[in-house]
Chain A
C-alpha cells in the first residue's frame, strides 16, 4: 500500500509538468486551432539558458524569473516572425512549420550545448523538512510551483482586461477588432504565455529527466495526451488531464506495463480519447440558442 501511495503521489508531481505543457498547448490551440509541436523544444531551450545562467553564478530563483521573461519574449518573437507569415496557410503548412521549428530548436541546442546529458539543479534541497518517504522535496516543490504558476495564469485570464481581451480575440477575432482589440498582438501574447508556462515545466522537469536536447520529447507526448484527455479547448480540463495522465503513467508503469513501456500509456490515452470521446472529458459543448 505504501508503495502504491508513493507511485500515485510521484505521479501527481509529474502530472504537474504534463499539466503545464498541456495548458501551453491548449492556449495556442484555443486561439489558432493549431497544435504547437515545438512547445517542448522551446521549453528545453529555455531550460538550457537557465542552466547557463545558474552556472554563471546567478541564484536559482533569479534565473527562474529571468527565464520566464525570456521565454515570454521568445514566444512572442516566434509568433511574430515565424508563425505570422503562415497565418492564412493550409493546416498542413502550419504543421510543417511547427515540425521544422522543433527540429531547428533541437539541433541548435545540440550544436550549442552538445548532446551530452547534464545535471540540472533543483531549488529544493534534498534534505528539506517537507520531504517524506512518499515524496521527495523536489516533487513537493514542483507541485507547489506548478500550482502557483497555473493559478496566476488563470487569475490573469479571469480578472484582468488584457486576459479578457485575449479570450475575446481567441473566440471571435472579427468582433474583437471591432471593439479595438489588436488581435495580432493578442495571439503573440498567447504564444508568449504558452512559452512561459512551458519553460516552468522544463525547469521543473530537468532535475528529474536531466538536461539534454531530447528531454521534452516524452513530456510533450504526455502533455498532448493530457490536453486531449481533458478536452483540447478547455484549459481546466487540460490541467486536470495532466494530473490524471501523470498518475496513470506512474501506476501503469509500476504495476502493469513496466517502466520501459511507460510512454505507450500516453499513446493509448491519445488513441483511446480520439476513438471514444474526441472532445475529451471536459470538451466544450457550447450552449446556444438559434
Chain B
C-alpha cells in the first residue's frame, strides 16, 4: 500500500500567528486516518493547510506522490480532494439538489446524473428533501448534505472536519456507519478530524495525536486507544 496523502515538515500560519509546526502524517490509500486533539490544537488548520484554504503554509504536501503545496484550492479540489469543512459549509440559500450539483461542479463526465441516486441511496432523507432550501434542514441532515456534496466530486480523499459536531448520538452513529460503508465500497480514503475520540478511533485504522500544533503520538488506532495517556485525556476512562 502506498500513501495517497503525505505531509513532510508542514507549517501553517494565519498571518503572523504560527499554528502548525513541522507536521508529518500519511494517509494510506483506502485508509482512514483520524487526527485527535483538544480545542485549538490545530486540527481544523491541518485540513485547511492541505487544501490551502485561508492559511499560509510551508513544507511539503504530496497527493498520490505529487507535490500539491503550491497549488490553489480550486485546483487541489480538481485532483480529487473533497473537504467537508467545519460548520458544514452547505449553501443554505440553495436547494439540496443544487448543493449536490455544485459538488460535481468540476466533473465533466456523464455519470453525474446517476450519482444523485447513489447519494440518495446512502442518505434517503436527502431525497425526500431535495427541493428544500438547505438552510431548512436539521443539523444532522445538513451534515449528511455536506458529506454528500463532497462525494459528488467522486473524491479519492475525503477531509472531514468534525462531522459529529453538535449532533445527537444516534445521528452521529448513523453518519459514521455510512462513512465506513463509503470507505469499504468506494475505496475513498479519509482524513478525519474529531473531538469525539471514541467514535473516531473506532472508525479509523490509524491515528495521530495533535497538541499545540505538533504531532506527539501516531500509530494504529488499536495501539493509540490503549495508550495510557490518550485514554485518560481523550477517552475518559
Is B149 interfacial (CB 8 A cutoff)?
yes
User: Which of these, A171, A178, A182, A289, contacts B85 with CB under 8 Å?
Assistant: A178
User: Which residues 153-187 of B have a CB within 8 angstroms of A?
Assistant: 153
User: Which residues 90-112 of B have a CB within 8 angstroms of A?
Assistant: 90-94, 98, 101-103, 105-106
Task: Name which residue of chain A comes closest to B83, CB basis.
Answer: A178
User: Which of these, B91, B106, B135, contacts A289 with CB under 8 Å?
Assistant: B135
Is B53 in contact with A178, judged by CB distance below 8 angstroms?
yes
Task: Name which residue of chain A comes closest to B54, CB basis.
Answer: A174
User: Which of these, B92, B135, B153, contacts A179 with CB under 8 Å?
Assistant: B153
Task: Name which residue of chain B comes closest to A167, CB basis.
Answer: B94
Separation of A287 and B102 alpha carbons in the complex (Å): 21
Contacts of B105 in A (CB 8 A): 161, 165, 179-181
Is A178 in contact with B136, judged by CB distance below 8 angstroms?
no
- Contacts A287-B135, A289-B135 given; does A178 touch B92 at CB 8 Å: no
Interface string of A158-191 (1 = CB under 8 A from B): 0001001101100110111111111000000000
Is B106 in contact with A288, judged by CB distance below 8 angstroms?
no
Is B101 in contact with A178, judged by CB distance below 8 angstroms?
no
User: Which residues 128-159 of A have a CB within 8 angstroms of B?
Assistant: none
Among the interface residues A164, A167, A180, A290, which one has the most CB atoms of the partner chain B within 10 A?
Answer: A180
Contacts of A175 in B (CB 8 A): 85, 89-91
Contacts of A276 in B (CB 8 A): none
Is B41 interfacial (CB 8 A cutoff)?
no
- Contacts A179-B102, A180-B105 given; does A289 touch B137 at CB 8 Å: yes
Is A287 in contact with B101, judged by CB distance below 8 angstroms?
no
Separation of A178 and B86 alpha carbons in the complex (Å): 12
Is B83 in contact with A168, judged by CB distance below 8 angstroms?
no
User: Which residues 42-64 of B have a CB within 8 angstroms of A?
Assistant: 51, 53-54
Is A289 in contact with B53, judged by CB distance below 8 angstroms?
no
Is A89 interfacial (CB 8 A cutoff)?
no
Is B102 in contact with A177, judged by CB distance below 8 angstroms?
no
In the complex, how many angstroms separate the beta carbon of A202 from the nearest chain B beta carbon?
31
Contacts of A172 in B (CB 8 A): 89, 91-92
Is A182 in contact with B102, judged by CB distance below 8 angstroms?
no
User: Considering only CB atoms and an 8 Å cut-off, how many residues of chain A contact the other chain?
Assistant: 22
- Contacts A172-B89, A289-B135 given; does A177 touch B101 at CB 8 Å: no
Is A286 interfacial (CB 8 A cutoff)?
yes
Contacts of B92 in A (CB 8 A): 171-172, 286, 288
Q: Which of B32-40, B73-81, B197-205 contacts A (4 or more CB under 8 A)?
A: B73-81
Contacts of A165 in B (CB 8 A): 102, 105
Is A289 in contact with B90, judged by CB distance below 8 angstroms?
no
Among the interface residues A165, A172, A175, A290, which one has the most CB atoms of the partner chain B within 10 A?
Answer: A175
In the complex, how many angstroms separate the beta carbon of B222 from the nearest chain A beta carbon?
32
Separation of A79 and B54 alpha carbons in the complex (Å): 22
User: Which residues 132-151 of B have a CB within 8 angstroms of A?
Assistant: 133, 135-139, 149
Contacts of B53 in A (CB 8 A): 174, 177-178
Separation of A167 and B92 alpha carbons in the complex (Å): 12
Is A171 in contact with B93, judged by CB distance below 8 angstroms?
yes
User: Which of these, A161, A177, A286, contacts B135 with CB under 8 Å?
Assistant: A286
In the complex, how many angstroms separate the beta carbon of B91 from the nearest chain A beta carbon?
5
Is A179 in contact with B149, judged by CB distance below 8 angstroms?
yes
- Contacts A174-B53, A288-B92 given; does A179 touch B77 at CB 8 Å: yes
User: Which of these, B82, B85, B94, B103, contacts A174 with CB under 8 Å?
Assistant: B85
Contacts of B77 in A (CB 8 A): 177-180
In the complex, how many angstroms separate the beta carbon of A180 from the nearest chain B beta carbon?
4
- Contacts A161-B105, A288-B136 given; does A177 touch B94 at CB 8 Å: no
Separation of A200 and B77 alpha carbons in the complex (Å): 38
Task: Name which residue of chain B comes closest to A182, CB basis.
Answer: B74
Contacts of A179 in B (CB 8 A): 77, 102-103, 105-106, 149, 153
Is B136 in contact with A177, judged by CB distance below 8 angstroms?
no
In the complex, how many angstroms separate the beta carbon of B193 from the nearest chain A beta carbon?
15
Contacts of A176 in B (CB 8 A): 102
Task: Name which residue of chain B comes closest to A184, CB basis.
Answer: B74
Separation of A232 and B111 alpha carbons in the complex (Å): 39
- Top 6 A-B pairs ranked by shortest CB distance? A180-B106, A180-B77, A175-B89, A288-B135, A177-B73, A178-B83
Given contacts A174-B89, A287-B136, A289-B138, 8 further A-B contacts (CB under 8 A): A171-B92, A172-B89, A175-B85, A177-B77, A179-B77, A180-B74, A288-B92, A290-B139
Return 19 A-B CB contacts under 8 Å, by A number.
Answer: A161-B105, A165-B102, A171-B92, A174-B53, A174-B89, A175-B91, A177-B73, A177-B74, A178-B73, A178-B82, A179-B153, A180-B77, A180-B78, A181-B102, A182-B74, A286-B92, A287-B135, A289-B137, A289-B139
A residues contacting B by CB (< 8 A) are 161, 164-165, 167-168, 171-172, 174-182, 284, 286-290
